Amino acid sequence: ADSPLYDPWSSSEHELFLEWGEEIKQSGREFSLWTYTNCGVSDYEKGERNYAYPGFMAHNLARQWERWREFKVQGLFLCGWYAEPDQYVMWHLFFDGRRGVDELLNEYFIGLYGAAGVPLKAMYDDIESRRYDESLYPPGKLLVDCFWTDWGTAERMEAWGKLMAEARALAKTER
């Protein structure tokens, strides 16, 4: 609805959440959520090549967290898990929602990978951004069929390969 990023996985859920949130504001009752953090995983098996496109979503998660705070969500049940570094971002947002997602992602990548974290974060950002770019969703095409034809194109794979090579060159240890 009012989200600045396209999110095909949760647009209907977002509308329902806004409706519930307004009712909660009016009634004053507590609001808890049951979240499916890894929805659609089984759909990955149906995509061309049968390889899942990375489900990175830290920026989307931060937008959701802001909305949850706005409606004073009192509890969350996480059914599933987020991939790293999204799991890292999620827990830090839960414990200190004042921190920014980019600050947390920089902390994650640099803290774990040192200088190699810079190209790894650049790759993460590009992968994540493609997932939320509405122009990369051809009309009438199943989302799972976009993974390696519209998002992870040969050109993108080459660019990501160069970022991985740069990260390996910057790594100071074998492990």
Rounded Cα–Cα distance for residues 70 and 52 (Å): 33
Write the pLDDT tens digit of every residue in 89-119: 988 988 888 889 999 999 999 999 999 999 9
Q: Retrieve residue 143's tokens.
A: 């989302």
Place of tokens 């806004």: 18
Write the pLDDT tens digit of every residue in 27-36: 888 888 887 7
pTM exceeds cut of 0.75:
yes
Among the residues of the chain, which ranges form H helices?
11-27, 58-70, 86-95, 101-113, 117-131, 154-170
Task: Give, as one character, the DSSP assignment of residue 21.
Answer: H
Candidates 3, 4, 5; CA nearest to 133 is 5
Rounded Cα–Cα distance for residues 80 and 154 (Å): 31
